[in-house]
A and B are shown apart, each in its own frame.
Chain A
Amino acid sequence: MKYDVVIVGSGASGGAVAYTLTQAGYKVAVLEKGRLLKREEFSKDELAYCRRDIVTPNLFDEYHTIEEKVDGKWETTPTYDSGWSFWNGNVVGGSSNFMSGMLHRMHPDDFRLKSKYGEIKGANVVDWPIGYDEMEPYYVKAEELVGISGKYKKHPFEPPRSTADFTQPPTNENAVVKLLDKSCKALDITPLVTPRAVLSRNKEHRNACFYSNFCGSYGCESGAKGSSREALLIPALATGNLTLMSNSYVKSLHTSKKEAVDYAVVVDTVTGKERHIYAKLFVVAAQAHESARLLLNSGNRLHPDGLGNSSGELGKNLIFSAGGSGQGELHEESLKEISFKELMQTGLFVNRSILDWYFIDHWWDGTFKGGSVEFMFEHQNIISRARKNNEESGKLVWGSALGEKLTDRFKKQKSIRFEIFNDWLPNDNCFVALDPIHKDKYGMPVGKLRVEAHPQDLKVGKYIAKKCEKVLEEMGAKNIYSGVSSSPPQNLVAGGCRFGDDPKHSVLNKYCQSHDVPNLFVADASFMPTGGSVPYTWTIYANAFRVADHIVATLKKVL
């Protein structure tokens, strides 16, 4: 059988393309390396989901090699050696199953960062080939289809909307927002309600959030979380046009003619059997670093440097989300504004963001691109919280002292936390290539990631962290600390297949179609030349819907 379209990967972007194409009547196959989990299997099992490789490959079977500068020299470490996994949710629906769902649109100026701020030495910043106006209708589509709840409030750095407000009101909030809002007001800061990919009301086959207290890092049993699995793949399957193949690892895409992919080389991860799956058009959506790896592994005599890599840009300018985090403790005896009982109520969201520092233009601090901030409670995982509190003065605490320490930590205080998101500036020392030595268990070269950050990223993160610490101080928190690091968050990855108008300097055109191979698209975050200062997911969904509309138009011409 020859499908109209084969999609490699079932996460946010793969789901959005599959949804659009199957609704339009095309026969689509989605190839997913991981397995299909039933809704009821998304339990809140901390041991399985957060402490073992249940939804990601065993690192001794499949891994990456990570290149970091140590004492001025590049040093490569396989992730099976470091334990630092760069896999994110390899099951049907991908990592969208496990996101926290705190989402923002990118700002219009994020699409023209170079024009707005000019060159930054050591950074490869370019403007996008499209503007915010072209993306805006798709932000709306994602908001409505995926189910993003929230409440719009006008703010100088809040991107403009073509619709008045969110179709779903915000999820229920913990009373701590009263204290947080008041503290922000005292500091002349404007807190905003965080748009969240979690339903506050039932929507079609999905139930509203039931506030389990364990959201990020876990799958959703009610279907409230706006995962690709729930929001897109289930409706796509209902059309009868989608063939969903789990446990299907794509080794490479084969070209027998230079201008077209004709089949995917696929291994059944259970039986080990290899087969070819044919289609008229191929969409790669395997998450940025893996999409670039697949194209590099698909090189042949027609494409000696990797599929669609005549520019030599494939794998380059990989980006992550820069920033950091911090937290402070709210103690029973010094709590203001709200009761301790209210604070300790479990399950409810904090739902507050700050965009005040998205762009900095200050007489003393200068003019530069800043970032966004999300507030939340410390993750409620019990084992990890206990582990974090088992030492004092560099020694392990055990026996009665451990009992005292843990019960005090869990029963008499609660930690409030902030996370900062700012641009990871693309640079020559952040890219993915093929490792010349290491191969995965299927015999394919693994991705080798060099992951250096630009010094500006740290400067911005630290600038914002100081301001966030002031908010926690105003709230009356104790033991406040923050950490801003140049270490990349492996779950927030983009770039590697830049889009652009010039085939000599970009891998994809403005529709995320390969400049070299017209029946090849890359729909995930790989296309992003810069990432904005917000989590990528809303933009990934929106862009994949935009790309899918273009694919439909393309298929109408050729079929």
Chain B
Amino acid sequence: MKRRKFLVLGSLLGLSPYIEAKETSSFEKSFKKVKETIAAVQDHMFPKNTKLPSATEMHAIAFLFETVKHKSYDKDIRAFVLEGAEELITREKGKFVLMDSAEKEKALRAYEETSYGRNWLSRIMTLTMEGLFSDPVYGANINESGWKALNAYGGKPRAKKRYVIDEV
């Protein structure tokens, strides 16, 4: 299946205005509108007091923003990250971030029932895992907490710069 069709299939919004947010220049502005929602989803998936470090403690939302904005990130998926969050906001009538944990669980499991929602939730989980388990140079594996939790460590030499060539 073609990538674009796959990403938008089942979305209430369809081909949304976020297409322009494929470009890194307009991404930051669009991201601000959905940041709180994405952070709440990350926090629900990786809460405190489990065997893994929490998304909040590891600043996973900052990592997600920097990662998705980066030029190496797929521009279609960049738009999809925003669209999927907007879709969740719309589905839950803007109340997702205000919900308690049980309500969030119910809302996310319902979203997961749609193929679109499942793809988006899977993408957010992947982006969070990329933060927690990537080299600490990317900022979300603080003190190697993600690696320590799994007793699995990145090899040497470690990255000195993000994406090999970026300045830290």
Contacts and interface: CB of A to CB of B under 8 A. Distances in A.
A441 to B, nearest CB: 15
A44 B157 contact: yes
Interface residues of B, number: 45
B150 A212 contact: no
Contacts of B118: 396
Interface in B137-168: 137-138, 146-147, 149-152, 154-160, 162-165
A214 B133 CA distance: 15
10 contacts: A43-B135, A44-B158, A46-B134, A47-B130, A47-B134, A48-B163, A54-B165, A81-B2, A399-B50, A400-B51
Given A45-B164, A396-B112, A398-B45, A383 B134 contact: yes
B125 A411 contact: no
Interface residues of A, number: 47
A238 interface: no
Nearest to B49: A400
B51 A47 contact: no
Contacts of B157: 40, 42-44, 221
6 A-B pairs with least C-beta separation: A44-B155, A403-B51, A403-B50, A214-B155, A45-B159, A212-B155
Interface in A64-90: 77, 80-83
B52 interface: yes
Contacts of B126: 387
A52 B112 contact: no
Given A406-B51, A407-B51, A382 B154 contact: yes
Interface stretch (B32-40, B68-76, B86-94): B68-76
A383 B140 CA distance: 13
A60 B78 CA distance: 14
Given A52-B163, A396-B118, A410-B152, A387 B129 contact: yes
Interface of B: 2-4, 44-47, 50-52, 72-75, 109, 112, 118, 121-122, 125-126, 129-130, 133-135, 137-138, 146-147, 149-152, 154-160, 162-165
Contact of A47 (B2, B138, B151, B158): B138
Given A41-B164, A83-B3, A396-B112, A48 B159 contact: yes
Contacts of B125: 387, 390, 396, 398
Nearest to A55: B164
A48 B162 contact: yes
Nearest to B67: A47
Contact of A54 (B75, B109, B163): B163
Contacts of B154: 44-46, 214, 382
A83 B80 CA distance: 15
Contacts of B152: 380, 382, 385, 410
